[in-house]
Amino acid sequence: MQAARHVVCALSGGVDSAVAALLLRRRGYQVTGVFMKNWDLLDESGVCTADKDCEDAYRVCQILDIPFRQVSYVKEYWNDVFSDFLNEYEKGRTPNPDIVCNKHIKFSCFFNYAVNNLGKLGSMGICFVGKRNFENFILQYLQPRPGKFISIEDSEVLGTHKGWFLYTLGQRAKIGGLREPWYVVEKDGTKGDVLVAPRTDHPALYRDLLRTGRVHWIAEEPPAALVRDKMMECHFRFRHQMALVPCVLTLNQDGTVWVTAVKAVRGLTLGQFAVFYKGDECLGSGKILRLGPSAYTLQKGRSRAGVATEGSGDGHSDSPGLGPTR
């Protein structure tokens, strides 16, 4: 009789990882449940959510009658993931800690642990720091930087905020005293102002051009067609489960790419990852570091034939038909 195959299932304490462990066990696998503790500070109510999640994961293992183990990567998580998370917010970007965590924790620390101690790596789950009041949480680590909410249409000051880094392009701005919703469309890191616009479909929320950092390609680096032609048609998304958007990639000499969408996309955000697809195949991804002008800027004739940058820009001018804007 063939021995049961051994898999490691990282249990977060939630439903998804518990069901994955159950299905693997029912299919004849020898399953070991492992809880990764990546965070140990108290939340705003004085409760350590990591301890509660660990207890939930342990109960799942008891119910499924599988071994349970716990590993701690609190130091690694802080150094490799959370420090990057804070640094990105200070720059005004909106980071994706899950992708960084995949690289440094899930597919490095945890993968090595699973292979060296428990045999093969199977289904995995991951927790960040649990549910939080985001503003209260982030202000425990970053100093407040008060600024103004300013209408992009007439420059009227609509209210104040505690820090421009607290806001993401496309999100609804919490401005006291206003009956109608306003949305974040730009951020001025120099002045600390957050520019907002009325209506969820305002043209200032839409852009069709972005530039990534160096792309991480999965199968080919980079794809042969992109190397040959310097341009390639594909699809991309930058949010989980958003509809794929047709686009054209333009390859730069430093391995970065310009992404030109066939139609303007709402809420493109610095710091998120543009993920590229060809049919059902995921080609790779790159962090969004520069954004083109919004549809509103173009309509108003204030484009200056350039692309918006955060900070002082990277000095490159190899954009597809556009030069850099400082």
- Catalytic amino acids? 101, 127
Is residue 92 a contact partner of residue 270, using CB atoms and an 8 Å limit?
Answer: yes
CA dihedral defined by 236, 184, 194, 90, rounded to 10 degrees? -40
Q: Residue 209 pairs with which residues in a beta bridge?
A: 260
Taking every pair of Cα atoms in the chain, the longest distance, rounded to a whole number of angstroms, is 77
* Spatial CB neighbours of 298, under 8 Å, sequence gap ≥ 6: none
Angle, nearest 10°, between helix axes 49-64 and 15-26? 20
One-letter amino acid at 303 equals: S
**Distance in angstroms between the alpha carbons of the first and the last residue of the chain:** 69
Cα–Cα nearest to 118, from 214, 206, 7, 280: 7
Position 314, amino acid: D
